[in-house]
Chains A and B, each alone.
Chain A
Amino acid sequence: MEIDPFIFRLSIFILSIFIGYYVVWSVTPSLHTPLMSVTNAISSVIIVGAIIAALAGTSESIFNTSSIFGFIAIILAAVNIFGGFLVTQRMLQMYKKKKDKKK
């Protein structure tokens, strides 16, 4: 009997929850705000779905109902990706400055 590929994805999902559990507990509490902003940024990897949807239009109809939703989702996710990573970087940079000063 063959195993449904869904089961494999479910396995990846559940194992990732465990990885997430242990990794996040090891995050130092002083970095909880950057943790939230970076998780925000990475969850915007949903942009891959948006790109697939947007590129599904044909050259005659670049903008059909389905691809328009894709295009809007691209903007939303892009705001999040750039905003999320950059604001995280900005915050983490502040944690660095002091260390250099001390040296």
Chain B
Amino acid sequence: MISANLAAISYLISGILFILALRGLSSPDTSRQGNYFGIAGMIIAVVVTFLSIGNFSASLVYVVLFLVIGGAIGAFIAFKIPMTAMPELVAGFHSLVGLAAVFVAIAAFLNPAAFNLGNVGDIKLASLIEMSIGAAVGAITFSGSIIAFLKLRGIMSGAPITFSGQHILNLILGIGIFVLIFYLCKTQSTNIFWTVIIISFLVGVLLIIPIGGADMPVVISMLNSYSGWAAAGIGFTLENTALIITGALVGSSGAILSYIMCKAMNRSFISVILGGFGADNSTDDKKEKKDQKPVKSGNAEDAAFLMKNASSVIIVPGYGMAVAQAQHALREMVDKLKKNDIKVTYAIHPVAGRMPGHMNVLLAEANVPYDEVFELEDINNDFANSDVAFVIGANDVTNPVAKTDPKSPIFGMPVLDVEKCKSVLFVKRSLSPGYAGIDNELFYKDNTLMLFADAKKMTEDIVKNLD
């Protein structure tokens, strides 16, 4: 058994190691070292916890057993998961953090003596507030993440589910949670504690169902943030520095990512949360309009010809590339182009894909060097000087309407200036609009050639035609 002071200092050290883990991610070169810092921090925290309890009774065997079972499941998932499924994996993991927070809070409520928080029915006031907030946020994180997971996985439709009075209901439930916590502090009643958790589960579901599939990058970041605040709440209860530091780090990390994502869509955080985006009711007009406008469409041969005669090509990947698993075929195509001395770069919009950085990971998986991949603000001026833009699976992030039509729902959203290229190749399955439900003007431009096909198949065909 080690002293409480030594334990506290060890927890501080693991907190610092977690900070270094995030710090490492400032560049790909230092990132792996950062990850080792994180692992070291975790090992220290776990070992110190065992040592400071010093209870090596029969329970210990089970603790280790469950640790190994969980670890094996986690390791199995980590090695098996395809990179395209990262968004749902992260959502799933968030739900586990949330649920773990709820369970730890329940355990502390039922057996406060084990945590030095007082006795059953007589828990310290501050601890009671902390654990109920931790449990409530954890429960919201859990059920919200489950809904996000189901939507990302396609088990549940990505369409927003809205009903009248939704916001008022959420508000009432939110206030209800605070009122109940207030009464919980007065009465220490177990039933109220359970009610808080159940209502929080409900709030989590209600919060996420109205948010449309394409707002998922914001939702995932937001849930990331919540999971941090839940951990911090529990950290206060347990008086554990490592947990408090981590909770604060994760909470602010998720909040910053949500902010970046919202900014990239030119939407306020509030409007994303309130949801309902993409449930456009004027789709009928659009269909008519679409039929009238002429579109130039081509095949793989045309595309190959255009690119062979270009001197620079910019690739614009989007969610469609992930769905079609086209990243490896794309890399092959780029290799062929490079052999012909064509300069190829990649342009990534912050909200391309279903989570922050999604496209970068897929390109990394396909062995694309990260110094060929550029963010929106770094590459947007290059479109004007490039010959071909190859848009694969992206849509709304290239729509010039965002710059020209103040009435458009995406007006003001920063977009890639794809139309400035000499010619645009647009790989898409059909002319259907993107998530925002708006027509892309780019389809009808004179310099756009539509390639109607599955992203992977089209890319493979182009590769063949490049020989």
Residues of chain A with a CB closer than 8 A to B63's CB: 51, 54-55, 71, 74
Of B32, B57, B68, B99, which contacts A59 at CB under 8 A?
A: B57
For this complex, 27 residue pairs linking A to B, each with C-beta atoms less than 8 Å apart, are A6-B236, A16-B249, A20-B19, A24-B249, A24-B252, A27-B25, A29-B360, A35-B357, A39-B249, A39-B254, A45-B243, A53-B107, A66-B107, A66-B110, A67-B59, A73-B99, A75-B69, A76-B70, A76-B96, A76-B99, A76-B100, A78-B69, A83-B74, A83-B78, A85-B38, A87-B81, A87-B89
Are B257 and A36 in contact (CB-based, < 8 A)? yes
Q: How far is the CB of A90 from chain B (nearest CB, A)?
A: 6
By the criterion CB–CB under 8 Å, are B361 and A46 in contact? no
Whether A16 contacts B59 by the Cβ 8 Å rule is: no
- Kindly report which residue of chain B lies nearest to residue A39, judged by CB atoms: B250
Contacts of A16 in B (CB 8 A): 15, 19, 244-245, 247-249
Tell me, rounded to whole Å, the shortest Cβ–Cβ distance linking B465 to chain A.
26
Measured in the bound complex, the distance between the Cα atoms of B256 and A62 in whole Å is 42
Measured as residues with beta carbon below 8 angstroms from the partner, the interface class of chain B is 35 or more
Give residues of chain A (36-83) contacting chain B, Cβ–Cβ below 8 Å.
Answer: 36-59, 62, 64-67, 69-83
Give Cα distance in the complex from A47 to B89, angstroms.
20
Residues of B within 8 A of A (CB): 14-15, 18-19, 21-23, 25-29, 31-32, 34-35, 38-39, 41-42, 45-46, 49-50, 53, 55, 57-60, 62-63, 66-75, 77-79, 81, 83, 86, 89-90, 93-94, 96-97, 99-101, 103-104, 106-108, 110-111, 113-115, 126, 220-221, 224, 227-228, 231-232, 234-254, 256-257, 260, 348, 350, 355-358, 360-361, 364-365, 367-370, 373, 375
CB closest residue in chain A, given B114: A56
Chain A residues proximal to chain B, CB less than 8 Å: 5-6, 9, 12-14, 16-17, 19-21, 23-59, 62, 64-67, 69-99, 101-102
List residues of chain A with CB within 8 A of the CB of B39.
85
Q: Which residue of the partner chain, among A12, A32, A69, A94, contacts B257 with CB atoms under 8 Å?
A: A32
- For B141, give the chain A residue with the smallest CB separation: A43
Contacts of A99 in B (CB 8 A): 28-29, 369-370
Known contacts A43-B247, A48-B238: does B25 contact A80 (CB below 8 Å)? no
Residues of A within 8 Å of B235, CB to CB, are: 9, 13, 46
B93 touches A40 (CB 8 A): yes
